[in-house]
Amino acid sequence: MLHGWGDRAGEYAGAQVASPYAWRAGADRWTDEAEAACFHVAWPQGVIGRNQVSPAAGTSSWNAGGCSSGGEDLCDATSRSTTCFRETCHGACSPCAWCSCTDDVGFITQLAQFLLASDLGIDRQRIFLAGCSNGGMMTWEVALHGPPGLFAAFATNCGVPHVGYMCTPPRPFNLIHIHAGNDHVIPFDGSPATDGAYRYTSADDALAAVTTSTLGGCQNGTSTWYSLYEAYAHPQPISESPRSALPWLDGIRLARRNATDDFNDGRCRLRASCADDVELVLCTGNFAHDWPAWAAAVTWRFFEHVTRNVSDASQGVVGNSVADAQPLFPQCRPRPPPPPYPPSRPPLPPSFFSTRGSLYLAVVLLGLLALGALFMLVRRRAAKGNKSNKWSKARAEAAMDDSDIGGGFDMEMNEAAVAAAKSSDKKGDRK
């Protein structure tokens, strides 16, 4: 399960964090479904990098659907490069870039292969990938450009590639796409987003790209929606479409609780059925840009269904063949992986608003304080030495003065004594 932009894997896995979104802190309900149906769930963490929005703590993202390389036609001028991840993008960002530039297709592929090789006992035919928002875009990226056959099915929620980054795969794949009609972040109908003013492929066009695969042999599904509340409250199978197209939804329950209001106005329909029992299902409702309470339960039902190879799932479905339909998008081509991260070139100078930059700033300030203290100490000692020298010189001069005075007095005394002696000698001669 791939998290959305700016989120943390631990939030989805059940970590108790303060968040305005109900489906975080484990409320995506994958844990509940896994405990009820006995399967493993992994929540990978996207690369966390600094950007203009979060220069200190960093923001997580997935490199998917043109979000790291989008040109000027993908967003409004006021939204350009507001969240550029310059570290992972080697210092340069496209005008509408808002995610990291790492090789996330390679990362998810290696993670899946690692889990398959572990001692968890994972069935190679029953490994799936799901994602929400930017994670939903990443799920599309892996489905279109990842190794074929690695994942048995995909679940994308409120996320599609940017305009110009959708392509037609060589073969269709099992997919359930969940997207609210009132989503204003990644709009369902492909209109410009009111949050960020970015442009995305519409949900219908994205699904049509899969159904027009040249080797798909797809047929259009039903145009009638199947109410999830009806599937919960009235599970008796009926022969009419659309229930006959989605029998795996009958009697659906939520692992956490069975409150009927959890289903809201959720509804699903079979978008297309293709060769090799491949199916595409579209679900919608009025849950905005969110992961609805029923998403995990419906997705797991779909995953179980497509891996049973039930060939009668499409019986009774009336539709037109789309095998000869003209593809809306060019054929998918393998994309070369981006340069490795961290890059081999010298890293960018750290921002002083980051944790590392704050540490560097503290070290510099402490060094300056130490130099200042040392300078004051040397200056004080020099001043004290000068004062001591002046005092010694003064004492020496005073001593010399005293010596001069005493010497003169003694000389005068000696001269007087000599004069007196001479006078005495003269008197003696006269006698």
| pLDDT for position 236 | 66
Sorted by where each begins, the domain ranges of the chain are 9-314, 354-431
Q: Are strands 279-284 and 175-178 parallel, antiparallel or unpaired?
A: parallel
| pLDDT for position 56 | 62
Hey, what long-range contacts does 80-83 have (CB within 8 A, 24 or more apart)? 81/52, 82/52, 82/53, 83/51, 83/52, 83/53, 83/59
The set of residues, in sequence order, having a beta carbon less than 8 Å from that of 172 and lying 6+ positions away, is 210, 211, 213, 216, 218, 272, 274, 275, 278, 280
The vertex-255 CA angle with 252 and 261, nearest 5°, equals 65
| pLDDT for position 25 | 46
CA nearest to 50, candidates 109, 80, 6, 16:
6
For residue 413, count other CB atoms closer than 10 A to its CB: 10
Half-sphere exposure of 341 (CA within 13 A, CB side): 22
| pLDDT for position 36 | 87
| pLDDT for position 387 | 62
Q: Residue 273 belongs to what H/E stretch?
A: strand 267-273
Q: Which residues of the chain have pLDDT under 70?
A: 14-27, 52-57, 79, 81-82, 195-196, 214, 216, 236-242, 256-261, 309-328, 335, 339-358, 386-431
Scanning 25-126, the segments in alpha helix (DSSP H) are 30-37, 104-117
| pLDDT for position 214 | 67
| pLDDT for position 305 | 92
Distance CA 10, CA 128 (A): 19
| pLDDT for position 159 | 95
